[in-house]
Structures are given as structure tokens and as C-alpha cells.
Homo-oligomer: A and B are copies of this chain.
Amino acid sequence: MATITRAEQKSETRRRILDAAESVFTEKGITATTAEVATAAGVSHGSVFVHFPTLANLLTALAVRFGTRLGDMLHTLSEGNSVEDFLYAHLSILGEDEDLYLFFLRNRKLLPPDTAADWLAMQSETAFHFAKMMQREIDAGRVKDVPVYFLFNSWMGIVHYYLENRDLFAPEGNVFARRKSELISSYLHLIQKEI
């Protein structure tokens, strides 16, 4: 019947700790403690270290899990879409985990180098699709002939800027939900060729 194996139990606990870490670090920032994570997860302090031998290890695991989740979602971004659809989809994805995304944006320097590399690799795929799509638009004469990598960097820069300053742009906390269309249409206006 609904028997739960020990292995399931274990990964369930691991998941709870990661979930707790996610919400605690998201809320309190990098100064959150392992004890707070334990409490939020409803497990003993020691349990945290059974699953993650080190705070750095926990953060890394969190980054990896989030990176995978985000990567999977970003995977669905295809160069086939229109620019608008692409950007819209991109922001929708980031918007799903806005808080966590911001956390890692701010604390990326704390991650071990190899995790940072994973992070980058993930970013790269988005960049790849973005570039392909944009190149097509440029070739079609719909977008200005600016290096595509610069188009990508601009987009990311703008997106991050709005995120970092979300308290200005969306005091209630969810920038993208609020500013998505505006952000996209302004950006489009910027990059598109005039007729």
C-alpha cells in the first residue's frame, strides 16, 4: 500500500531541508543560519548536516536544484518564436522564482567556482537561443544590426536592474508580474528598426 521506503523517506527529508533553505535564505538573505533552516524544515539541527555536510554544500545544492529547475524551463525557450513571445516566456520563467533568482543574483560570489560555472552554462543555453532568434530578426531587417551578444547582455542587464531595484519598481515584490509588458515593449521599441 502506501508504504514509504527508507530511501523515499530520506530524499523526502532532503527535499524538505532544501525547501526550507530556499524560503529561509530567500527571506532573510545570506545571513540566515543553518539552525533556522532546520527549524523551518521541522528537523533537528543535526539533520541538516546529515544531508549537507557543510553550509556551502547546502547552498551549492540549492543552486544546483534551482539551476536545474530554471534550466529545464529555459529549455523550452525556442528560437522559433517571435521576439516578443520569447522575451515574454523568459520573464514568465524568471518570474516564477523571482525571489530565489534574486538571491543567487546577489550572492553568486559565495558559490564555489564549479557551481558558478554550472550557472553560467545554464545561462549560455538561453543566450544561444536568444542569439539565434535575434540573428534571424536582424537578417530579416526587423532588428538593428547590433552584435547579438550585446543585445543579450542588454536584455539581461535591464532584467536584472529591474529585479535588483524591485522595491522601486514594484513595492509589493513581484516586478515581472507588474512590469513585464512594459519592459518588453520598451525593449522591443529600442532594438527594432524603424520602418
Contact = CB atoms under 8 A, between A and B. Distances in A.
B144 A186 contact: no
Interface string A113-139: 000000010000000000000000000
B158 A154 contact: yes
B153 A158 contact: yes
Nearest to A109: B29
A64 interface: no
A98 to B, nearest CB: 15
Interface of A: 29, 106, 109, 120, 144-147, 150-151, 153-154, 156-162, 164, 168, 186-187, 189-191, 193-194
A41 to B, nearest CB: 20
> For A109, A120, A191, A193, which residue has the most chain B Cβ atoms within 10 angstroms?
A109
Nearest to A107: B106
A146 B190 contact: yes
Contacts of A194: 144, 193-194
Contact of A158 (B29, B157, B164, B186): B157
9 closest Cβ pairs, A-B complex: A157-B161, A157-B157, A157-B158, A150-B186, A146-B189, A154-B158, A146-B190, A153-B161, A146-B186
